[in-house]
Amino acid sequence: DRRAGYDRSLALLAAARRSGPTRLVLKSSIMLGLGESDAEVDRALDDLRASGVDLVTFGQYLRPSPAHWAVARFVPPEEFDRWRNRAIAHGFAGAEAGPLVRSSYHAEALYDRAIAHREG
């Protein structure tokens, strides 16, 4: 939806964090392989944490049809490992990363990790 831009999405996540129940866990996903720079992904991680997001997943962007943007590059497995580790270093309670990872990947385990992280 063209109305849902980057800043508006971050504002929605921040509003959910402020008004949500204490056990509300916020998760977001980043698709890699569209020509993003490391600095852009790091900025997105900082922005997501500042908005109160607990969990993040990284997956490979796959072009759904010729009408969609082309894949700029296929991300190697070791880069996904690096992004998982960097997400934890950014303060996320949990992260999953891999070429076929999507937002629901290991959702229950990530949720449990976020609750345990919060309860200290």
Short-list 106, 1, 3, 89, CA closest to 41: 89
Q: Which residue stretches of the chain are H helix?
A: 6-19, 38-50, 77-89, 107-119
Domain 6-119 in CATH 3.30.1330? The answer is: no
Residue 3, pLDDT above cutoff 90: no
Short-list 95, 1, 7, 97, CA closest to 47: 7
Short-list 91, 82, 94, 81, CA closest to 47: 91
Q: Give 4 or 64, the one with higher predicted confidence.
A: 64
Give residue 119's pLDDT. 80
Give residue 120's pLDDT. 75
Domain boundaries, the chain: 6-119
Residue 93, pLDDT above cutoff 80: yes
What does pTM read for this prediction?
Answer: 0.88
Ramachandran region, residue 84 (left: φ > 0; alpha: ψ -120 to 50; beta: rest): alpha
Give residue 85's pLDDT. 98
Q: What is the mean pLDDT of residues 91-118?
A: 86
- Predicted confidence (pLDDT) per residue in 23-57, tens digit: 799 999 999 999 999 999 999 999 999 999 999 99
pLDDT band at 115 (very low <50, low <70, confident <90, very high): confident
Give residue 61's pLDDT. 96
